[in-house]
Amino acid sequence: MSVEVREAAAGDIQQVLAVYKAAGLATSGQLNIEEAIAVYAKMAQYPNYHVFLAEQDGEVVGTFALLIMDNLANGGVPSGIVEDVAVLPAFQGQGIGKAMMRFAMERCRSGGCYKMMLSSNQIRTKAYRFYEALGFTRHGFSYRVDLQ
C-alpha cells in the first residue's frame, strides 16, 4: 500500500485533530473544531508554514506541520522545522512516518534549506530510534519555558 502526502485544507482539520488525539498529541488543551480552523487560517497566512496529511487508500493515517523559515545567520539560507508528527496507532510501524519525514526532507531540500530540525518529548524513546534510523542526529539541547 502506498502512502500519499498532501497539504491539508481547512476541511481536513477535524481529521488532523482526530489523529492528534489518537496518537496522544492532544494531551491538554485540545482545540474545538472552530478554534482549530481559526488557527489553521492564521497559519495559512505564513508563506511557508503548512500542515500535511498522509493518506493510505484514501484514509488519513498521519499528519505533521512543516515551517520553512528564512534566517539572517548561515548566509541567509533557510531552515526547516517539523512539528506535530503523528500517525494513527493502528498504522504505526508501516512506513507512514518514514514517508512523511522523507516528504518533509525533500520539501526542505527543494526549498534550499541547510537543515531540518524537530524535537521529540523525552518520554518518546521509540520516536528517538525512528528519527535516528532516518538519519537524524541528536543536536544540542532543547529548552522550554512555560509562559501560561
The model's pLDDT over 54-107, given as tens digits with 9 standing for 90+, comes to 999 999 999 999 999 999 998 999 999 999 999 999 999 999 999 999 999 999
DSSP state of 11: G
| pLDDT of the residue at 95 | 94
> Model's pTM, two decimal places?
0.90
Query: Is residue 27 predicted with pLDDT exceeding 70?
Result: no
Query: Is residue 126 predicted with pLDDT exceeding 80?
Result: no
Length, in residues, of the chain: 148
pLDDT band at 128 (very low <50, low <70, confident <90, very high): confident
| pLDDT of the residue at 85 | 93
Query: Is residue 28 predicted with pLDDT exceeding 70?
Result: no
> Hey, what domains does the chain have and what are their CATH numbers?
3-133 (3.40.630.30)
pLDDT digit string, tens, across residues 1-25: 689 999 999 999 999 999 999 998 8
